[in-house]
Amino acid sequence: MKLLVGLDLRDAPEALVPLALSWAEPLEMTVSLGYARPVPTAIPSPDAHPDDVLAQKRQWDADRAALEAVEQSIPAKLRGAIHLADGDPAQNLAEWATDHDVVAVGTHGRRGFAHWWLGSVAEKVVRTATTPVLVLKNPLPQRPRVIVALDVRIGASAFLDTVLPWLTRIDAVADLLYVEEGFIAVDPTGAPILDSALQESWAQVTAERASRVKQLLERIPAQNRGSAHVMSGRASDVIAERASDADLVILGTHGRTGIPRFVLGSVAERTLRRSPVSTLVLRVTE
């Protein structure tokens, strides 16, 4: 397997490598590094001053050298390729990712790295990349606890088919979580606040959703099987809260366009931003 790690050379790129290696080493992944400079370097005109041309070449060489320096922290047997380009970071990462099994980005930086990646770049990569996207926040431990957030109303079976090989690869224990956003008002314990007219409807919805989630849970091999949960509230908030006791969150995107059904728009952004642990976003082809 091959892992592409998207870096920002402006903000502690070397800090992301140990997180990536926590995945690459147990899975025997080769690790490639990519940096797309978000402000394109101007192409020198024929009459450009020689000093300007030389300065641009020196900056390019410096960025290449910085990537090579980061690469030295990767075991030799796991080293892949180095990618460097000017232009849109998300577009370049998505293009480079076509030759990889996973593309990873991080949120550890001190000077706006998280905002830069999780603002437009990560969301664009999630929407456009044909490979899984891994947002790294913590190392992957042995026998990780995983929250698999799914939507039982659409594509849940196909999504689980995509998830199962990953659970085996990382030897995870997986809890399935479905969040019903139709009943947003909840008390401090997380229970829905309903008037009498909605109580019966909520009970029926809960029973139906819970039954479906339990059916899906039974498809997970016993050694990887955790528990099933149906909760109400804002999906990103509930997922983030449940993730506080986990090591990884797995989300899915559905459809040929790559626009998520469950993690659409603000839900995806809020989940990636709020989750205290790494998030793996998988593409599901139905």
Model confidence over 68-111: pLDDT tens digits?
Answer: 999 999 999 999 999 999 888 888 998 999 999 999 987 644 44
DSSP labels, 231-256:
EES-HHHHHHHHHTT-SEEEEEEEST
Token pair for 268: 């995806």
Q: What is the pLDDT of residue 48?
A: 60
Spatial distance between the Cα atoms of 215 and 112, rounded to a whole number of angstroms: 43
pLDDT in tens, 48-64: 666 666 777 888 899 99
Q: Is residue 268 over pLDDT 80?
A: no
Spatial distance between the Cα atoms of 179 and 235, rounded to a whole number of angstroms: 6
Strand order in the sheet with 145-149: 79-86, 30-37, 2-6, 102-106, 133-136, 278-284, 248-254, 145-149, 173-180, 225-232
Residue 250 pairs with which residues in a beta bridge? 148, 280
Residue 204 three-state SS:
helix
Q: What is the pLDDT of residue 95?
A: 93
CB 44 within 8 A of CB 52: yes
Q: What is the pLDDT of residue 190?
A: 59
Whole-number CA gyration radius for the chain: 21
Token pair for 230: 């149906």
Residue 54 three-state SS:
helix
CB 168 within 8 A of CB 196: no
Domains of the chain: 2-136 (3.40.50.620), 145-284 (3.40.50.620)
Sign of CA dihedral 35, 37, 38, 43: negative
